[in-house]
Chains A and B, each alone.
Chain A
């Protein structure tokens, strides 16, 4: 008399990376063992995941918001790695790779958007780009930050790398220490200097 209740499986994150379908964990293990080429293999996977996540979480997004890029990176970590093997060092190494990917994503996005503003794509902006508006900082254009970071790298590559890890990867100081092999004091000092330097560059005389 009563039809059986049919459960429907909905394929959800179809545009997200299936953790089991790639060898992220294996690559990460090689990365931890000091195989630098592993980072190059991991980068595209992470890049794709981050793009998908940013789009998924905030697809209807219109204006800027305070969601940090690092939250998305962390989310990617949880999705790709945490379930399988979540040692503290693997997290640090993953985030280090992800920080590069995130930085690239933000810059690509900002460039596209700026092009659109100049009339290049007009109304045809894609959802993904609108989503990424979320993750931009309140007042700073990602391309400006990128340019400033590049200038910082001319003065201290180490400081620029630490900023990249902290800002785009969301690594803690301890994680930066783990990934870079630098001392804690050095990382702390560099981070303080780099922040002051970048703020001066980005905010100019407004301070």
Chain B
């Protein structure tokens, strides 16, 4: 069985330095966005999805676990944050915390259930769990069913940062994204990340070496789910609503698509993929259901001809880890 990641790339100390350089360039580029005239709402949305895709990529790229239900963390954190902000009237920083806590609890439960199976079954289980949650959110009163939670106040973060100003909000989202990204980056380069990769390559051998692989997988799942929740909580401030579309299977599919386009198991691929897919959606918004057809076409094309994704192909070309 061929692994989903590019095994031909050398793993050297230089790789990490390269990646740090690219990270600094990326952070600098993102920091000057408010002066470029780019529509900040678009970039903020893309950043939220980029963090979400990076969190998803931590599981598939480094743990070999394809979650087809990552939207459940996005939606859960969104609902929790929105409820805390609007109904409890909490300040933004606490609202984010409530959202992240919600997705943390969910990831512990969902992880405990789903890591019992691997591969294809893991994907089906996470999909079923997210559908279960979809129906629950459809029925419980606090999510307001089909309407969702609308008109969420943005408020002042720490009492000083006025989030209703686009530029301020942009930097808050950027800090959230970069923080989450660095945490994932640190994780995959840590001893924990190495063990995770060994589980991906050969779980039986990792077990025989004495690693309790279930604990590693659960921890990776929790980290991934919680960071996906951070993305969901940030997205609440950008979109100012929390609705069922964030919990739908279609959303989970989009997360997979972003990561696939950018490159499964690459460090920067999910970010590129998120910008491509969010940008495409913006651009094709008027085409109705054809967007779905195009996305399906991208899935097919990627799997058949472009399995490494944009960043994966670049990395392969330059023989560098990116």
**A in complex with B:** no
List residues of chain A with CB under 8 Å of any chain B CB: none
